[in-house]
């Protein structure tokens, strides 16, 4: 495989060469489960999915690890503000772990609906406190820490490479005092490894440690869990662009300070932000869109996936409902074409003169686009080009399109199986009802779920619950 990736570390596009040929260790920062994911967050996970699928399509084995942050993430990545989990639990009158479980389930439901392949390893911060303590002990033993005000801090002045990823300058860091300065810090860039005197009186989760009863800083969990599952050096680490200057910068400092190995991670992949027409999408600002809100407005989650693939992951993408309408039309047009190809392919009288190699050339161009730093807009154009090539044999085109969808993940095969011959509007309506029924079942509203099933039966639609989801047919 000839994958090239833009590496934030060094800001260059490089040939991807895993540390162990044919095997990739990949860690993607996961969600802080204090609220629903917003559609901007989902852009990060679609990027991880596209990367994993591309690596696997090239024949490689990928171990994809994702953390679930259920402790220690303050509203400011630089130790400022309130604990996101504690605040959310208090607002909702629930326990922290209850909140975490609820939003973790909601998160994976969203990933499934977006056709994102689940990671090989999903690890919760609260279940890896011992790994974090062990790593902090190593950092301490190597002389990179100090205690102040009851907390244990990482001293960035002891780590000369600090800020290399973000191209931060140490002198600027020293000068740049932030809005909320923790008086215990020797340098504003220093960060907490372990809070011993709880910053918040109502901190629910605390653990014993060599530094006293307390809880970990946010950054240490990603260092500890990625090392635990992928080893002291691994291939790819990914996340949103906002993580470059603080979170990932601090992860590198911790990991390399503990192990003494450099580079900790070979390739750093960062997706740009999804922005709303009215500005930045963020949970703290209150106004954010969830996947469910798109579904409630009648869109298929894969319409949103299609919208994301229309932009390159390293370019900012502006969300609007007009753009989502465009993506929905694109996906429906693709599905229509796939269905008609499937019908033509069944007709033995079709004597299509497939020009020698035309389809394989398209497939090669598609692969080249994906391997060129995951150029999904170009890859989508190749899929279109393929589908519009009327000179090629339908069965061959169909096979190639489905192979492309193995990376794009637009659900073409499923669309083909379940609903051949139906109008896209009708399919969308039924799919939306099926999604609503699944939600009702999840919320244990079985009467609501049955009402949806019965109303569909009255319209002659039979639902069948299969392992992979609910299928429907006319009965």
Interface contacts to ligand AMP, rule CB under 6 A = 29, 31-32, 40-41, 43-44, 239-240, 242-243, 271, 273-274, 281
- 369-373-374 Cα angle (round to 5): 60
| Binder of residue 274, out of ligand AMP, Zn ion, none (CB less than 5 to 8 A by kind) | ligand AMP
Stretch that binds Zn ion, among 147-155, 217-225, 416-424, 457-465 (CB under 5 A): 217-225
Shortest Å distance, C-beta 30 to Zn ion? 8
- Of 225 and 341, the one with the shorter C-beta distance to Zn ion is 225
- Of 209 and 226, the one with the shorter C-beta distance to ligand AMP is 226
From residue 12 to residue 31, what is the string marking binding to Zn ion with x (rule CB under 5 A)?
-----------------x--
Shortest Å distance, C-beta 228 to Zn ion? 14
Q: Is residue 222 within the footprint of Zn ion (CB under 5 A)?
A: yes
- Which residues make Cβ contacts (< 8 Å) with residue 1, sequence separation at least 6? 16, 55, 58, 59, 60, 371
- Of 102 and 273, the one with the shorter C-beta distance to ligand AMP is 273
For 148-178, the DSSP string reads ETTEEEE-GGG-TTTTTTTT--HHHHHH---
Shortest Å distance, C-beta 17 to ligand AMP? 25
Shortest Å distance, C-beta 291 to ligand AMP? 13
- Of 76 and 231, the one with the shorter C-beta distance to ligand AMP is 76
Spatial contact of 230 and 63, defined as CB atoms under 8 Å apart: yes
Give the integer Cα–Cα distance in Å for 232 and 228: 8
DSSP type of residue 183 = T
- Of 29 and 393, the one with the shorter C-beta distance to Zn ion is 29
Give the integer Cα–Cα distance in Å for 302 and 334: 12
- Of 7 and 271, the one with the shorter C-beta distance to ligand AMP is 271
Q: Is residue 152 within the footprint of Zn ion (CB under 5 A)?
A: no
Omega prior to 263 cis, within 30 of 0: yes
Shortest Å distance, C-beta 326 to ligand AMP? 19
| Binder of residue 222, out of Zn ion, ligand AMP, none (CB less than 5 to 8 A by kind) | Zn ion
Count of CA atoms in the C-beta half-sphere (13 A) of 46: 33
Instruction: Find tokens 């810090």 and name the residue.
Output: 185
Shortest Å distance, C-beta 340 to ligand AMP? 36
Distances (CA, A) of 178 to 77, 162, 167, 190: 12, 18, 18, 12
Give the integer Cα–Cα distance in Å for 337 and 405: 14
Shortest Å distance, C-beta 171 to ligand AMP? 27
| Binder of residue 273, out of ligand AMP, Zn ion, none (CB less than 5 to 8 A by kind) | ligand AMP
Q: Is residue 327 within the footprint of Zn ion (CB under 5 A)?
A: no
| Binder of residue 146, out of Zn ion, ligand AMP, none (CB less than 5 to 8 A by kind) | none
- Which residues make Cβ contacts (< 8 Å) with residue 424, sequence separation at least 6? 332, 335, 336
Spatial contact of 49 and 374, defined as CB atoms under 8 Å apart: no
- Of 44 and 224, the one with the shorter C-beta distance to ligand AMP is 44
Shortest Å distance, C-beta 237 to ligand AMP? 11
- The residue count for binding Zn ion (CB under 5 A) is 2
- Of 258 and 418, the one with the shorter C-beta distance to Zn ion is 258
- Of 81 and 352, the one with the shorter C-beta distance to ligand AMP is 81
Give the integer Cα–Cα distance in Å for 367 and 369: 5
Name residues contacting Zn ion, limited to 161-180 (CB under 5 A): none
DSSP type of residue 288 = -
Spatial contact of 78 and 296, defined as CB atoms under 8 Å apart: no
For 238-266, the DSSP string reads EEEGGGIIIIIHHHHHHHHHHH--S-SEE
Instruction: Tell me which residues touch Zn ion (CB under 5 A).
Output: 29, 222
């Amino acid at each position: 495989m000839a994958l090239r990736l833009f590496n934030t570390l060094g800001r260059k596009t490089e040939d991807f060469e895993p540390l162990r040929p044919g095997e990739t260790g990949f860690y993607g920062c996961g969600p802080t489960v204090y609220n629903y994911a917003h559609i901007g967050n989902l852009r990060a996970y679609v990027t991880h999915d596209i990367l994993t699928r591309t690596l696997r399509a090239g024949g490689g084995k990928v171990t994809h690890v994702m953390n679930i942050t259920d402790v220690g993430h303050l509203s400011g990545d630089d130790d400022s503000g309130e604990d996101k989990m504690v605040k959310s639990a208090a607002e909702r009158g629930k326990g922290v772990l209850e909140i975490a479980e609820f939003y973790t389930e909601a998160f994976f439901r969203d990933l499934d609906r977006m056709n994102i392949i689940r990671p090989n390893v999903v690890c919760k911060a609260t279940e890896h406190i011992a790994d974090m303590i062990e790593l902090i002990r190593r950092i301490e033993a190597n002389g990179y820490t100090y205690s102040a005000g009851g907390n244990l801090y990482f001293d960035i002045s002891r780590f000369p490479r600090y800020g290399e990823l973000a191209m931060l300058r140490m002198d600027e860091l020293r000068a740049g005092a932030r809005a909320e300065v923790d008086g215990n810090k020797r340098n504003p860039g220093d960060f907490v490894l372990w809070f011993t005197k709880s910053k918040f009186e109502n901190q629910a989760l605390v653990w014993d440690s060599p530094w006293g009863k307390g809880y970990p800083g946010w950054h240490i969990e990603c260092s500890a869990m990625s090392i635990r599952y992928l080893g002291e050096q691994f291939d790819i680490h990914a996340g949103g662009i906002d993580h470059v200057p603080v979170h990932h910068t601090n992860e590198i400092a911790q990991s390399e300070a503990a192990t003494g190995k450099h580079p900790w991670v070979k390739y750093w992949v960062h997706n740009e932000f999804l922005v709303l027409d009215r500005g930045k999408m963020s949970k703290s600002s209150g106004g954010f869109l969830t996947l469910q809100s798109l579904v409630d407005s009648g869109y298929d989650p894969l319409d949103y996936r299609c919208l994301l693939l229309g932009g390159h992951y390293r370019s900012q993408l502006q969300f609007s409902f007009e753009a989502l309408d465009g993506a929905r039309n694109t996906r429906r047009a693709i599905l229509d074409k796939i269905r008609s190809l499937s019908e033509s392919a069944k007709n033995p009288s079709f004597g299509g003169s497939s020009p020698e190699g035309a389809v394989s050339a398209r497939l090669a161009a598609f692969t080249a686009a994906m391997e060129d730093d995951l150029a999904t807009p170009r890859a989508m154009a190749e899929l279109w080009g393929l589908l519009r090539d009327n000179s090629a044999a339908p069965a061959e085109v169909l096979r190639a399109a489905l192979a492309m969808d193995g990376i794009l993940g637009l659900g073409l095969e499923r669309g083909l199986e379940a609903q051949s011959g139906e109008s896209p509007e009708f399919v969308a309506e039924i799919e939306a009802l099926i999604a609503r029924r699944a939600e009702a079942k999840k919320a244990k509203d079985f009467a609501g779920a049955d009402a949806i099933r019965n109303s569909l039966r009255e319209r002659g639609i039979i639902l069948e619950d299969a392992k992979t989801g609910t299928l429907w047919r006319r009965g």
